[in-house]
Amino acid sequence: MVKANQSINPRVGVIGAGKVGSTLAQRIAEKDLADVVLLDVIEGMPQGIALDLMEARGVEHHDRQLIGSNNYADLVGCNIVVITAGKPRTPGMSREELIEINAKIVKSAVKEAVKHCPEAIFILVTNPLDVMTYLAWKVSGLDPSRVMGMAGVLDSARFETFISLELGCSIADIQTLVLGGHGDLMVPLPRFSTVRGIPITELMETETIDRLVDRTRKGGAEIVQLMKTGSAYYAPASSVCLMVEAVLHNQSRFMPVAGYLQGQYGLNDIYMGVPCKLGYKGIEQILELPLEKSEIAALRESAEVVRKGLEMVESLVGFD
């Protein structure tokens, strides 16, 4: 059996071996990106999933190592740590209702992880995303460029899906941008969403765009409602994997990421979805777009929800 600290390959720690975490481990290994340490509080479960994924290697043709663990010390040497630990919502719940249960989990997971791999880049997934990313940054003591959250890639991918279904065209030509907090007030930007460079505002009626924007905003809830017992995980895992690849391969790719704002878009001391350049140092640049007044107002409204969540986290678990 391979020991956790024997590899010289890139290594990604995934904390939380549930739906998102285990699917992400599979994506990372099968795309041949890195070895994976899959960690959970449930004994035997991450070990079983890691072994199952190892046994698929001969068929999938890769040599990546997958290690299941209940011990944070096994994260030694990880280049990236992804936090998926925590509860998903069930029908009727908002993401904010997860704060009480998930803040404790994220705080302790990040504190433990950073002790063993202080050099890692941290990517948060646990909801409510922007609030948990801020909490993770605070308790990690790391530079904000090295702590980020995944949501905008997923929300943009959903918007792209709905546009491609509406226009009956390939998704390959569609690129969208969804900014703001990962909640009902997220900010899809039709002006910056294109099909082969053509803004969708040139291709669809306003009412159609509004309908697709609304479906995007409620994209997570639509799946929660259908699944009944949990939330989306295939598209979320693919979205995190894209960020992992951008960092590991130092790709300098622009994508919407929950990054720490220090005055950009008129917002300060908050994590929220903005266009970021990702490379091996983490967030290398935050791009400030020339937004219209209504778009800025929508971003600020979205930020208010995040701030309320931060107040709640501070009173529940604190940021120390």
Ligand X SMILES: NC(=O)C1=CN([C@@H]2O[C@H](COP(=O)(O)OP(=O)(O)OC[C@H]3O[C@@H](n4cnc5c(N)ncnc54)[C@H](O)[C@@H]3O)[C@@H](O)[C@H]2O)C=CC1
For the annotated binding site for NAD(+), the residues are 16-21, 40, 102, 125-127
Residue 195 or 242 having the CB closest to ligand OAA: 242
Task: Give the Cα-Cα-Cα angle 20, 21, 24 (nearest 5 degrees).
Answer: 85
* Region near ligand X per CB under 6 A, out of 50-58, 97-105, 204-212, 291-299: 97-105
DSSP bridge pairs for 37 = 13, 67
Q: Annotated catalytic, 62?
A: no
Size of the site for ligand X (CB under 6 A): 35
Closest separation between CB of residue 83 and ligand X, Å? 9
Residue ranges for the known binding site are 16-21, 40, 89, 95, 102, 125-127, 158
* Region near ligand X per CB under 6 A, out of 28-36, 104-112, 189-197, 278-286: 104-112
Residue 93 or 286 having the CB closest to ligand X: 93
Please give the order of strands across the beta sheet that includes 35-39. Answer: 66-69, 35-39, 11-15, 80-83, 121-124, 147-149, 253-262, 268-279, 282-286
Instruction: Look at the chain and count its residues.
Output: 320
Tokens 């936090």, residue located:
83
Task: Give the Cα-Cα-Cα angle 266, 299, 132 (nearest 5 degrees).
Answer: 95
Per rule CB under 6 A, is residue 177 in the interface with ligand X?
A: no
Task: From the list ligand OAA, ligand X, none, pick the one residue 224 interacts with, judged by a Cβ distance below 5 to 8 Å according to partner type.
Answer: ligand OAA
Q: With contact defined as beta carbons under 8 Å apart, do 10 and 79 qualify?
A: yes
Q: Could you list the residues that contact ligand OAA (CB under 6 A)?
A: 88-89, 95, 127, 154, 182, 219-221, 223-224, 231-232, 236
* Region near ligand X per CB under 6 A, out of 11-19, 114-122, 172-180, 207-215: 11-19
Closest separation between CB of residue 297 and ligand X, Å? 24
Range 279-282, long-range pairs (CB < 8 A, 24+ positions): 279/246, 279/247, 279/250, 279/251, 279/252, 280/247, 280/248, 280/250, 281/145, 281/146, 282/121, 282/143, 282/145, 282/146, 282/147, 282/148, 282/247
* Residues taking part in catalysis: 182
Binding site for ligand X (CB under 6 A): 15-21, 39-42, 84-89, 98, 102, 105, 108-109, 125-127, 129, 150-151, 154, 182, 230-233, 236
